[in-house]
Structure formats: structure tokens, C-alpha cells
């Protein structure tokens, strides 16, 4: 018998939920954004009372704040503990990070609340010895915080930059060698800002101008993204208002980083084009291409995994896109039957992700310099395959969400040296005439994720 009088259960506190999310991120290597979305969804249903706006805000702040400032927080732990940080239990590190983040960065939270609430969570997830240790470290910080100072920049520049920019030393050293110290610092400072919420209009259902008016009506504080044409890229100042509105559910808009909208713009597809998106999930770039052609193209969207293919199908249906054909396919394996069949091919290649450290701050602590060696061989294999599918006179767009030169400019140089039947293709973007046929989207300049996009054309037989 159904009990119709069952009351919703009160949700756990924001701090406890932050601990659960961060445990998954740092121990199980989950993505912070996806795990946080799952938790938010769980505590917005019928079983639980919804999280209040302040609790949502604190949960988000703690998760992303700890992910960004993790080395800063562990540096403090190291100064206050005789036990090496690397030998601390993972639960202890995470709880200390949550408590210290509040004490160091959140002035609005009383010190007593930061300490006591963290200790209460510790009592539920670990043993008494760890509880006492956590309590002692947090209270030690309150006594000694005035005495804690970062090393001076002079004489300790790399360590100083690592702690102030919240990035591993190897990344700062590598980026500085490739793009210079000034740009490196500007880019990494941008990664420590809360990322904006960007959405793409869906002109198949609603003109961008009308979507903009609806966003204003719902108090979502919209602002046009100047480098996305036709008003289709919109930055939303009030994310809560946007997600409360029916616009997302109705397929009138969808969430997408401004930088990831750019490959389709550079491709510049035409009505009637036959297009291949080789690494398509979750399908946003295929959807961009469909929208730019007014739903009048034939787009094959490939992904290696069945559940991601289903996601592409679902997203396309929600938005009323009928010209995308999602298919499970290993893009490193050439399909001989489709050689030279496509007017335009997009290869948004798997990469090191060093351009999305704002949206995915935990990546900075997972990547190692050795990890970067894994990506170029895969990218080369995918580019070799992509070249096969492009018609003579057709276009190949290569993009990544990294700022690593070896995966970007060096990859294009390698490709053109091997494939003499391709050349760079000049294009215009954001008021610039790009004669080199490629552009790097710098986060400090465009205020979005870091991206690289190149446009190549296959020579006609008579070229």
C-alpha cells in the first residue's frame, strides 16, 4: 500500500555533500562537474527536500574551490603537521582541505562553524584518531595563520607561482617555455576564476533574438558572446534562473562552452553538405553544424562507445535535429567504403585537456608531464584516418581543448608534411583574417576555455 503522506527527507549538509563529491574526485578520479551535477539532481527530486540556494552555492564553492586550491591547501597541511601529507589517509586530506578552504578563503563563514562542522563529518566517515588529528590541525591553523607565508617569488619563483596560480610546477615550466611567462601567468590566472555559463541558441526551434528576450524575461541576465555569429552564443549571468526556466527542457537552448562552438564556425558548413564528426559525443558540435545549415545537411556522428552514441541521439532529438546519424565506430580504424565521401570532416581530437582547467580544475592535479606523450600518437592516427574521408576540394577541421603546442601547431605541421594533398585554408574569425589557417583561443583574451582550431583543405586533382 502506498503511503501518500510520506514527507521528503531532509538532504545532507552542503559540507557533507562536498566531502562525498571530493572523495569521488580525488580517490575514484571522477570528474567534479559531472559528480556535482549528479548530486544536485539527486537532491532536487521528490524523495528529498530540495537544497536551498545558499546550500547549493556553498556546495559548489567548496567542490570547485578545493579542486582549484588543492596545492595551496596541502602546503598549509604540510606546515602544520609532522605527518607528511602524502602519507595522510585520503579521507583526512579531503576533510582538512574542506575545513581549511573555509578558514582561508570564505570570510563569511564563522571559524567555529568551519572547524566544528568538518569535525562532525569526520566522526561519521573515519575513526577517532583521525577525528582528533583533523580537529588539532584546523585549530592549529587558527593559532598560527599569521605566521604562515608563501615563499618569496625572488629565489623561489616556480614554487611561488605554483602556489599562487594553483597549478603544478611542471605545467608552469612547460607553458612558460612554449608561450612565455607573461602569457602563462595571464592564462593560469583566468583558470582560477569561476567559469561562465555559456549556452547556444537553437534556431531550429526559436530564433536567437527571441531566445535572448525569453532569457531576459526569466531574469537569466543574458549577454551576447561577440565572437559567435548570429547571436547564437549567449553568456548567462544568472544560472539558477536559466535552469529554473523551461528553455533547456524544451530544447530552445543547450549548455555549451563558447570555445567549443568555434570549430563549427570555422568549418562554415553549407546546406546539403555531407559532414563527418569523428569524435562526436556528446554531440554539441554536430548540433552546431546542423544548425548552421538550417537542419539541411547529412551529418555522420561517430563515437567509440554505445552509451555516448545514445547520448548524441537523445540530444539531437531534444533539439529537433533530424540530420544527424549517430553511429558507434572506432575512428582510428579506416572505413574503406567511405573514402572521399565527405565535403567536410571535423576531428575534435582526444587531447590533454590543458585548455579546460577552469571547467575541470581537478585535471591539473591528475595530469603529469609524462601523460602528455600519450596523446600525439593517437591524434596522428586519427588525422591519418580523417584525411581519407575528405573529398578533393573538401575541408578538414582539426580542434583540441588543449594549449600544448605538440598537440596543436606541431601536429598540423606533421600532418601537412606527410599529406601533401592538403594545405592550410585561410579563414576569418572574430574580426581577424587568419592566413595561417589556424587559431588558438587564449582564455585570458576570449574569457572562455582554451582551444585550438585549424582549417585544412584537400587539394583538387588539378591543383
Residues belonging to the binding site for S-adenosyl-L-methionine are 279-285, 303, 330, 348
SS (H, E, C) the chain: CCCCCCCCECCCCHHHHHHHHHHHHHHCCCCHHHHHHHHHHHCCCCCECCCCHHHHHHHHHHHHHHHHCHHHHHHHHHHHCCCCHHHCCHHHHHHHHHHHHHHHHCCCCCHHHHHHHHHHHHHHHCCHHHHHHHHHHHHHHHHHHHHCCCCCCCCCHHHHHHHHHCCCHHHHHHHHHHHCHHHHHHHHHHHCCCCCEEEEECCCCCCHHHHHHHHHHCCCCEEECCCCHHHCEEEECCHHHHHHCCCCCCCCEEECCCHHHHHHHHHCCCCCCEEEECCCCCCHHHHHHHHHCCCCCEEEEEECCHHHHHHHHHHHHHCCCCCEEEEECCCCCCCHHHCCCEEEEEEECCCCCCCCCCCCCCHHHHCCCHHHHHHHHHHHHHHHHHHHHEEEEEEEEEEECCCCHHHCHHHHHHHHHHCCCEEECCEEECCEEECCCEEEECHHHHCCCCEEEEEEEECCCCC
Annotated binding site: 279-285, 303, 330, 348
- State yes or no: is 67 an active-site residue: no
Catalytic entry in 67, 323, 351, 401:
401
**Distance spanning both ends of the chain, measured CA to CA:** 77
Q: Can you give the length of the chain in residues? A: 463
Hunting for cell 503522506 — which residue is that?
Answer: 5
Neighbouring CB atoms inside 10 A of 149's CB total: 7
Neighbouring CB atoms inside 10 A of 433's CB total: 8
Task: For helices 409-418 and 375-389, give the axis angle rounded to 10 degrees.
Answer: 50
Neighbouring CB atoms inside 10 A of 108's CB total: 6
Q: Cα dihedral sign for 286, 292, 296, 298?
A: negative
Active site residues: 401
Amino acid at each position: 500500500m502506498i503511503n501518500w503522506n510520506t514527507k521528503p527527507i531532509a538532504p545532507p549538509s552542503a559540507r557533507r555533500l562536498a566531502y562525498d563529491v571530493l572523495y569521488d574526485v580525488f580517490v575514484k578520479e571522477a570528474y567534479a562537474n559531472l559528480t556535482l551535477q549528479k548530486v544536485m539532481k539527486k537532491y532536487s527530486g521528490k524523495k528529498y527536500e530540495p537544497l536551498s540556494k545558499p546550500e547549493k552555492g556553498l556546495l559548489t564553492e567548496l567542490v570547485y574551490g578545493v579542486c582549484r586550491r588543492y596545492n595551496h591547501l596541502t602546503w598549509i597541511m604540510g606546515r602544520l603537521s609532522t605527518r607528511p601529507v602524502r602519507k595522510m589517509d585520503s579521507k583526512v586530506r579531503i576533510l582538512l582541505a574542506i575545513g581549511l578552504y573555509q578558514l582561508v578563503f570564505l570570510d563569511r563563514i564563522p571559524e567555529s562553524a568551519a572547524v566544528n562542522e568538518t569535525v562532525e563529518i569526520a566522526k561519521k566517515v573515519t575513526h577517532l584518531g583521525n577525528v582528533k588529528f583533523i580537529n588539532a590541525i584546523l585549530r592549529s591553523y587558527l593559532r598560527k595563520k599569521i605566521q604562515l607565508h608563501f615563499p618569496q617569488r625572488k629565489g623561489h619563483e616556480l614554487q611561488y607561482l605554483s602556489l599562487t596560480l594553483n597549478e603544478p610546477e611542471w605545467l608552469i615550466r612547460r607553458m612558460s617555455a612554449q608561450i612565455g611567462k607573461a602569457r602563462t601567468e595571464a592564462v593560469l590566472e583566468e583558470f582560477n576564476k569561476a567559469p561562465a555559463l555559456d549556452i547556444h541558441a537553437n534556431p531550429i526551434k526559436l530564433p536567437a533574438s527571441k531566445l535572448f528576450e525569453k532569457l531576459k524575461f526569466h531574469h537569466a541576465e543574458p549577454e551576447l558572446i561577440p565572437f559567435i555569429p548570429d547571436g547564437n552564443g549567449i553568456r548567462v549571468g544568472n544560472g539558477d534562473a536559466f535552469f529554473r526556466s523551461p528553455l533547456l527542457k524544451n530544447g530552445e537552448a543547450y549548455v555549451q562552452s563558447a570555445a567549443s562552438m568555434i570549430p563549427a564556425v570555422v568549418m562554415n558548413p553549407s546546406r546539403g553538405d555531407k559532414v563527418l564528426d569523428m569524435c562526436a559525443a556528446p554531440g554539441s558540435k554536430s548540433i552546431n553544424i546542423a544548425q548552421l545549415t538550417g537542419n539541411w545537411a547529412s551529418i555522420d556522428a561517430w563515437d567509440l562507445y554505445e552509451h555516448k552514441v545514445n547520448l548524441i541521439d537523445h540530444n539531437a532529438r531534444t533539439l529537433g535535429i533530424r540530420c544527424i546519424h549517430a553511429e558507434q565506430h572506432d575512428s582510428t580504424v579506416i572505413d574503406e567504403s567511405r573514402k572521399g565521401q565527405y565535403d567536410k570532416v571535423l576531428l575534435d581530437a582526444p587531447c590533454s585537456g590543458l585548455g579546460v582547467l577552469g571547467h575541470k580544475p581537478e585535471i591539473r592535479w591528475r595530469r603529469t608531464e609524462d601523460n602528455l606523450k600519450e596523446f600525439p600518437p593517437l591524434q596522428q592516427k586519427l588525422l591519418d584516418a580523417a584525411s581519407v574521408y575528405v573529398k578533393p576540394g573538401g575541408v578538414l577541421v582539426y580542434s583540441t581543448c588543449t594549449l600544448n603546442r605538440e598537440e596543436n601547431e606541431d601536429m598540423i605541421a606533421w600532418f601537412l608534411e606527410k599529406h601533401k594533398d592538403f594545405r592550410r585554408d585561410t579563414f576569418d574569425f572574430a574580426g581577424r583574417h587568419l592566413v595561417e589557417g589556424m587559431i588558438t583561443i587564449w582564455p585570458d583574451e576570449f574569457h572562455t576555455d582554451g582551444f585550438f582550431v585549424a582549417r585544412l583543405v584537400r587539394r583538387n586533382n588539378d591543383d
